[in-house]
A = this chain, B = another copy of it.
Amino acid sequence: MTASTRSSGASSPGGTRPEALLVGQSGGPTPVINSSLAGVIAGARGRIPAVLGLRHGIEGALADQVVSLTDLSEGDLAALRRTPAAALGSCRHKLAPPDVERVLDTFRRHNVRWFCYIGGNDSMDTCARLEGAARDAGYPLSVYGVPKTIDNDLVGTDHCPGYGSAARYWATTTQEVTRDLAAMRSYDRVLIMECAGRNAGWLTAATALYRRDERDGPHVLLLPEMIFDQGSFLAQVEHTLARVGYCVVAVAETLRDASGAYVAQSSAGVDRFGHPIVTAVAETLAQLVTAELGVKARANKPGTLQRTSMGYVSAVDQDEAFGAGHEAARQLAAGASGEMVGLVRREPGAYACDFGSVPLTEVANSERRLPPSFVHGGAGGAMEITAAFREYALPLLGPAPDPHFQLA
């Protein structure tokens, strides 16, 4: 489906442009970031005269790449919700002081009165800077953030849209590969799965969410919140092989040892936000297992697939992502500014979430790791998720998958 979009500039040559809400997407895509975009557009309808989209996030403002989203059909919005990656394009641009004036120039040119940014903590920092700069310049601009990250590491919200789908990807595929190992028994004995998540273990821990009993993987969890100890790791693998016959390991790509060094063999420096770029920790551990224990070990690194696969989307996550975008547009239209939508879990009772808000400055550049109540250390340094984590995370994954056939 191809939407009929046009340059915002071309739509009213020389005339007065209507007051517009401008929306952008930022950071690594998630399977539901386009659902949030659809939510922003739907929420702006009837409240705000025009909706514009920024190509490649704030970089689109520097290059004046702005498109009109006002005329998208209901069918376009429905297709948008099911589209992988970031339909407007995304970026990882860190806003430098000289950039800010150029961004505001673009905003003025398109008569932008409301700016909505769908992204993570770096993006909320960008929002906060733009709001401050506009205020200083006397330019009437309202700014609102929509949380987005598969890493679930934003503060001020119960969880982040994007996490439920990526967690469902990991919970489901970990059981799928566990069955593969159980079927292949003595041939493929150890499998190491490499999970994203920056410094937080939310996704690595999610691999355990659909485990039904102690034979199901993951059997070893290597979280970024812990210190990697080679002896303890190999002992856990050996113990699992003796107990179950095969072993599934879930490892965070950012795992570090006691010296603070990454366990991965190669570290290719830092990206422009200062986040280290690390590759191939799963392959490193597989080679370690083979060398030290003499058993065949494989590494799986789905990489990009964990943030793009529409085959494992959580319906709850997709709906909440839409709702968060809708709420941001509604808040902007009502005059709010300087905040990000936060998801607030209704307690007690069956799972439900309301939308709240959190100041952008509280979210910007902070990160939320797995709390101690969600994991505990067992014998020999083994890490395990707790019942509290299951209770927290399982509702975010939506309906559980089909029960599988099982031989008694």
Question: Which residue numbers of A lie inside 8 Å of B, CB to CB?
Answer: 1-6, 25, 28-29, 34, 53, 56, 67, 76, 79-80, 82-92, 172-173, 175-177, 179-180, 182-188, 191, 266, 268, 271, 277, 279-280, 283, 286-287, 290, 296, 298-305, 307-312, 402-408
Q: Contact: A84 with B191, CB < 8 Å? A: no
**Closest approach, in angstroms, between the C-beta of A61 and any C-beta of chain B?**
15
8 contacts between A and B (CB under 8 A): A1-B403, A85-B180, A87-B406, A89-B183, A280-B280, A300-B304, A302-B305, A305-B305
**Closest approach, in angstroms, between the C-beta of A314 and any C-beta of chain B?**
12
With A2-B407, A56-B185, A177-B308 known, 11 other A-B pairs at CB within 8 A are A29-B183, A76-B405, A79-B405, A80-B405, A84-B404, A89-B183, A180-B308, A266-B287, A279-B283, A280-B280, A280-B299
Q: Contact: A290 with B304, CB < 8 Å? A: no
Given contacts A89-B182, A304-B180, contact A309 B407 (CB under 8 A): no
A296 contacts which chain B residues (CB < 8 A)? 277
Q: Contact: B305 with A300, CB < 8 Å? A: yes
Q: Contact: B5 with A407, CB < 8 Å? A: yes
Q: Contact: A187 with B286, CB < 8 Å? A: no
- A202 to B108: give the CA distance in the assembly, Å: 53
Counting every copy of the chain, the complex holds 2
A312 contacts which chain B residues (CB < 8 A)? 311
Q: Contact: A406 with B173, CB < 8 Å? A: no
**Closest approach, in angstroms, between the C-beta of A13 and any C-beta of chain B?**
19
Q: Contact: A91 with B29, CB < 8 Å? A: no
Chain B CB within 10 A, most for which of A80, A312, A402, A405 = A405
**Closest approach, in angstroms, between the C-beta of A185 and any C-beta of chain B?**
6
Given contacts A179-B85, A182-B89, A311-B172, contact A302 B302 (CB under 8 A): yes
Given contacts A88-B407, A90-B183, contact A299 B279 (CB under 8 A): yes
- A301 to B53: give the CA distance in the assembly, Å: 34
A183 contacts which chain B residues (CB < 8 A)? 25, 29, 56, 85-90
Contact of A299 among B3, B301, B407 (CB under 8 A): B301
Q: Which residue of B lies closest to A1 (CB)?
A: B403
A85 contacts which chain B residues (CB < 8 A)? 176, 179-180, 182-183
A287 contacts which chain B residues (CB < 8 A)? 266, 279
Chain B CB within 10 A, most for which of A83, A92, A176, A290 = A176
A408 contacts which chain B residues (CB < 8 A)? 2-6
Given contacts A67-B407, A184-B28, A404-B79, contact A176 B308 (CB under 8 A): yes
